[in-house]
Amino acid sequence: MKIFLIVFLIFVFVFPAVILAVPPPKPPKSVSSVAELETHLTELTQDNVPPGLSVIVVKNDKVVYANSFGAIAAPPSTPRLACLIRTPTLG
């Protein structure tokens, strides 16, 4: 009975999430301008997958392009616990 319940719960919760997940937009084969690249990267971060990204292009040891897209800070994926924040002290 437990195995049936586990399999049933997997079908109920996991498969709909996988089937209904929205795939990210396909990357363009090529871009002809910086604006076209920025449009694609903005669309990519609209669904918060990834929540944000940064692009830096370096040529001859000089930064020729730098920009960030999406959220500045994503919600934490791990809750902050008091035991993780505090450190033990001696004394």
Number of H helices, E strands in the chain: 3, 2
Per-residue pLDDT, averaged over 10-35, amounts to 74
Residues ≥6 apart with Cβ < 8 Å to 58 = 64
In tens, the pLDDT along 36-82 reads 888 888 888 887 777 788 899 899 999 999 998 887 765 666 555 55
Taking the C-alpha atoms of residue 56 and residue 82, their distance in angstroms, rounded to an integer, is 37
Taking the C-alpha atoms of residue 53 and residue 72, their distance in angstroms, rounded to an integer, is 9
pLDDT the model gives residue 61: 92
pLDDT band at residue 91 under the 50/70/90 scheme: very low
pTM over 0.85: no
Per-residue pLDDT, averaged over 9-13, amounts to 74
Percent of the chain with pLDDT over 90: 10
Structure tokens at 64: 């020729």
